[in-house]
A = this chain, B = another copy of it.
């Protein structure tokens, strides 16, 4: 049934035509979006990745052509030769090509289509599972096409910019060495070495540091990375990093080049001016003011430490927290003083999800009275002192948490965002960048009963904090920085340790024996014996960055072939079973309880 395109050559994509082409004979090819037969005149909307174009089949001695056009159905692939004319009907303001139409002279049906399982349209209401099963159809939808085109543009601009700045793109291996530290690696069994495995890289971290050792000076790669994690809401087993590393630099140099990259991307892709320099804030300040290491700075509602103000009150929740070394902090939800009790209770539940034992509140009524969950424990004077500390005014709602700092920050930081969402004060067209700097080098892991690296074990401590590394490791700050956009961490990095003695000390603090360190990172430690330049880098999560630029809610909407939560692909049905023979070739077999017990 398919006709050949022989002798035809496409002259334009649909969306490339405009009133400037009126009078030209053109050849266009694409998919039938829809066709209508209006009193013997057939109108076809033709779609390709550039847009939609109206084709008219009309005229004397064109009966056969019109009849053929009338039989077209959605998603047929056609080639059309015709003349560009000013639109005979009303101009369609919604279409870039809305002022013109093509008067068809020839029509070829290159490929027919069955009725698709869901309509090819923007903002599809079809449930995601079905769309992912037929991803090749889903990917025809204009919103997904815009997203993937934007992603391609972001990658292209990034490469151009970095290349112009003297960065070399160097490919590092996908079949790497598995390391037990960090998240779980995907493993690849070796056939030539049965019982041995490659690990897919969680990032090219070690390789890019080696490239600095090797004198490549400025490296980047848009690199696939892999983590075999239990998938949370919006994780993918494979994801893409813009990975950057520079030699002979310190924090400011990394920040400078990356700010210019971000400014270029947002200007060229979205026509948004990013004011440079991007503000910086230490981790400590971010936690104190926003209760988050990735604060959304599009709005205020900052945390206030009221420990001092309430330290003499009799409220046991406050008192107990302070006595245990914690703090009392609050946020002022301006104008929310009249929030119904039920809604406040929901906020209390929300806070509990983040580890709060409770949430104290003070609702300042417009009439000057005060409703509070803990008024009875407070003197009039104590309450006024608290309200003053939080700059409370009639109509405000003060929400307070008392606990260890970590819990207080987490609760109020999230509460702050929740109230912003509820009160719809977030402007989705505003893009606020922020550097968060001077992260703690280490964090205590209750689970592992040891310090773990907050970024990774190669992060450089601040020179002035090195003195505490044995006596008070938790106090040591790192030359680490994250770039935050509207409350999302889109990238992060650090200056690296380049001195063997500091690196060894770091492993020691992390509880690695010399052997463990050598087994896992021996080649890096070896490399460090032969002259290492000071170096630093940064990596962006490309998926998340493009997701934010495209104003999507899921990174699945900015990837061509994503997997679902259980890490499977609904379209290809990967992963799938393989022959036992193949397994045997790899020196493996399926694990059975039976064999374990030897029965």
Contact = CB atoms under 8 A, between A and B. Distances in A.
Interface of A: 2, 4-6, 9-10, 13, 29-32, 47-49, 75-77, 79, 110-114, 116, 134-137, 139-140, 145, 148-149, 151-152, 155-156, 159-160, 163, 168-178, 180, 184, 186-200, 207, 210-211, 213-217, 224, 226, 228, 230, 237-238, 240, 247-248, 250, 253, 463, 498-499, 523, 526-527, 529-534, 559-561, 563, 566-569, 571-579, 582-584, 586-591, 595
A177 B572 contact: yes
A174 B76 CA distance: 31
Contacts of A526: 134
Nearest to A534: B5
- Count this chain's copies in the assembly: 2
Contacts of A31: 215, 531
A234 to B, nearest CB: 17
Given A173-B561, A216-B148, A560-B207, A178 B578 contact: yes
Contact of A216 (B77, B139, B170, B226): B139
Given A169-B155, A170-B152, A197-B576, A563 B216 contact: no
A136 B582 CA distance: 35
A5 B595 contact: no
Contact of A77 (B47, B168, B228, B531): B531
5 contacts: A6-B250, A148-B216, A173-B561, A178-B574, A187-B188
A112 B531 contact: yes
A140 to B, nearest CB: 5
A178 B584 CA distance: 16
Contacts of A463: 4
Most central of A9, A10, A111 by chain B CB within 10 Å: A111
A586 B187 contact: yes
A31 B228 CA distance: 39
Nearest to A77: B531
A177 B574 contact: yes
Given A192-B566, A560-B211, A187 B533 contact: no
Given A188-B187, A531-B31, A584 B591 contact: yes
A547 B332 CA distance: 64
B561 A195 contact: no
A9 B574 CA distance: 51
Contacts of A112: 531
Contact of A169 (B32, B152, B170): B152
B559 A171 contact: yes
A217 B16 CA distance: 14
B533 A29 contact: yes
Contact of A148 (B170, B177, B195, B578): B170
Contacts of A214: 135-137, 139-140
A216 B170 CA distance: 27
